[in-house]
Structure 1
């Protein structure tokens, strides 16, 4: 890469990306989603087990537990994906409050209470699951940030009750949060009353129709998927954790899409027929094979074509972790970071895999993704699980792995020749 371009990227692009990656609110969103990820995965696996596409398995479960055996998985879903918005609001609020050194628990509780005030109710005055899950996620994220900022400002103002010495710490904290909580809930209650009076609507409905629905359509497109793959790997090339930096945007855009796929799959729809192609499992399973850059394919290319002892040693050390999508050893050990020879394949490979995967799913060759699984699930196992138990998901991973290996080969050969010459000179 031209030295002037590299210098410009380092001087202009890296500082901006670094500031974005460390921005307090984005970090809180990222860490908040990480906190609830175990519940997301458990709920996803419950749906996958309930709808595992095998008559033998289904009949066996009915034989063991009766026709109602799926109720357990359905209950797990209700306690995870069905209240995803509430969970995310609580965890994001908690993390943001802690970043200000404010008590996180009351902030999270006030945020959840505020979100429930804004959530439409059913005819029998029950909270509507329609808006507590991923469909209400956008409002949940916004409210977690706004309410926590209000709570922080009120807690550090004079609008608090100070208790005398000797009062138990738990009581002191409760009374200190009393007035801030009261003010916030009154404001939110007034907002909901105003929306009801003016248009018999809710903030959820307004945001979903005007922002979230168009954003979901845009997120599900191939150009958006290519841009995400490009930005992730460009950031990684400069030594910035691209996955962490764009994670808040990924979660906000793609969790509602995988949740919709899962709910339709749970209702009996085929994984081929669910609506959304691009989801977070789409990237994790079909694009990031072995981690960002599909570096597991790079390791295979090294074993096939490289003679340099240094590269082969790094590949041997990196391979076990690579099987579980942990690729920092190869990113910084080979290195790929700030290595001009590896820039083109490191960015090109994920873009190509994004395109091949998108068309494989959109043409109905491979089922769409219907399960969230741990990002560390080894390749080929992950392809089977996210596709709802289809071997076509595994086949797509094998094809993508072969493509990635072929794309890496000429570049790693070039790097190997340069390394061998350098060793001879030394």
Structure 2
């Protein structure tokens, strides 16, 4: 709904129409029938139903793709004069505009319906299966590699270093993938199977964004230990409570950390180190894989325990990662002390 709303507005069309079309297009491309397993283990074909798989994070890619295509087509068709319904001048413009979208909406829904029917007839499959196999699965797999994880974390914090909200900007790319990964882990846990994915959204929240972007909780502790600058210490006292709930903006822009060459380096390095260590700790079975979708504002230490479904070793790992991050931040905090002294002199 929101993607369709904003996309239609970007084309100069009514946002509500785009939102409705996004929802309708998603429902159209869902399979008309699904095969379910009853309590006795028998397969049952059900029509006109929506499953948890389709309406959870696993179906997010399908919803995004269907909305982008359908709303774009709708806006293109709406601009064609031949497809507009001519109304008398006495009709209010708002009503006339709603009539103008009828034929384009009919064409878009017809096209989507025909595509779904043809895929079912010709390939004996459906659009959700194709999306999951050829688009969603490769993206999820790329994030499960240490290289993909490190690249994502590096780019997120590099943007932060230049004053841009990296986790928000790249979240539109990464979050659907990582939400799909945690959904797969949750489904596997429910079915008593081995959890397939290491990198999920709660994994990154628990081991890469403690205190917010750049593992700011480590900077808070480093400043309280090693900083002699009153401006740093006073701002940190204000920002320490938000950082406990992974809100880093007061310190990012208050100290500031952004556009700060000294603090920008550990801002990028520390999260890479922590997620790398957490990745291999999970891969070697030292801690459990994440299987619970916790709120991103969950405080550190608690977040690791909850995200891994009650593994205390994950909380212990968080303590170790915070300590390592503090040790990396401290030399740069001391350099900031010296830089302040030179400016005073």
TM-score normalised by the chain length of structure 1: 0.73
Aligned equivalents of 2:54 and 2:200: distance in 1? 20
The residue that corresponds to 1:405 in the other structure is 326
Q: Name the SS for the 1:372 alignment partner.
A: coil
Q: Please identify, of 364-373 and 160-169, the stretch whose mean Cα deviation from structure 2 is larger.
A: 160-169
Shift of 1:113: 2.5
How many residues end up aligned between the 2 structures? Answer: 332
The residue that corresponds to 2:208 in the other structure is 287
Indicate whether 1:126 and 2:48 are aligned.
yes
Indicate whether 1:152 and 2:63 are aligned.
no
Aligned equivalents of 1:117 and 1:224: distance in 2? 33
Distance change in 2, residues 1:99/1:377 (3 Å) = farther
Shift of 1:291: 0.6
Q: Please identify, of 175-184 and 220-229, the stretch whose mean Cα deviation from structure 2 is larger.
A: 175-184
Match for 2:168 among 221, 244, 254?
Answer: 244
Indicate whether 1:384 and 2:305 are aligned.
yes
**Alpha carbons 2:5, 2:16 under 8 Å: kept:** yes
TM-score normalised by the chain length of structure 2: 0.88
**Alpha carbons 1:306, 1:312 under 8 Å: kept:** yes
Indicate whether 1:214 and 2:125 are aligned.
no
Q: Deviations over 1:81-105 (max 9, x none)?
A: xxxxxxxxx3321222233342233
The residue that corresponds to 1:104 in the other structure is 15
Q: Please identify, of 290-299 and 363-372, the stretch whose mean Cα deviation from structure 2 is larger.
A: 363-372
**Alpha carbons 2:185, 2:197 under 8 Å: kept:** yes
Indicate whether 1:228 and 2:152 are aligned.
yes
The residue that corresponds to 1:354 in the other structure is 275
**Alpha carbons 1:150, 1:184 under 8 Å: kept:** yes
**Alpha carbons 1:119, 1:127 under 8 Å: kept:** no
Distance change in 2, residues 1:193/1:378 (3 Å) = same
Distance change in 2, residues 1:162/1:384 (3 Å) = farther
Shift of 1:412: 0.7
Aligned equivalents of 2:91 and 2:46: distance in 1? 42
Distance change in 2, residues 1:268/1:147 (3 Å) = same
Q: Please identify, of 348-357 and 315-324, the stretch whose mean Cα deviation from structure 2 is larger.
A: 315-324
Structure 2, unaligned runs of 5 or more: 35-44
Match for 1:140 among 51, 63, 66?
Answer: 63
**Alpha carbons 1:97, 1:104 under 8 Å: kept:** yes
Q: Please identify, of 408-417 and 162-171, the stretch whose mean Cα deviation from structure 2 is larger.
A: 162-171
Match for 1:363 among 278, 284, 290?
Answer: 284
Q: Deviations over 1:121-167 (max 9, x none)?
A: 22332345244433333232111111111112223332233545676
The residue that corresponds to 2:26 in the other structure is 115
Shift of 1:326: 1.5
Indicate whether 1:195 and 2:132 are aligned.
no
Match for 1:315 among 217, 236, 241?
Answer: 236
**Alpha carbons 2:212, 2:247 under 8 Å: kept:** yes
Distance change in 2, residues 1:368/1:166 (3 Å) = farther
Shift of 1:116: 2.5
Structure 1, unaligned runs of 5 or more: 1-89
Shift of 1:281: 1.3
Q: Name the SS for the 2:47 alignment partner.
A: coil
Q: Deviations over 1:194-220 (max 9, x none)?
A: 212322222222232222212211111
Aligned equivalents of 1:151 and 1:381: distance in 2? 47
Aligned equivalents of 1:110 and 1:346: distance in 2? 42
The residue that corresponds to 2:129 in the other structure is 205
Aligned equivalents of 1:190 and 1:197: distance in 2? 10
The residue that corresponds to 1:274 in the other structure is 195
**Alpha carbons 1:308, 1:420 under 8 Å: kept:** no
Aligned equivalents of 1:388 and 1:214: distance in 2? 27
The residue that corresponds to 1:253 in the other structure is 177
Aligned equivalents of 2:28 and 2:237: distance in 1? 56
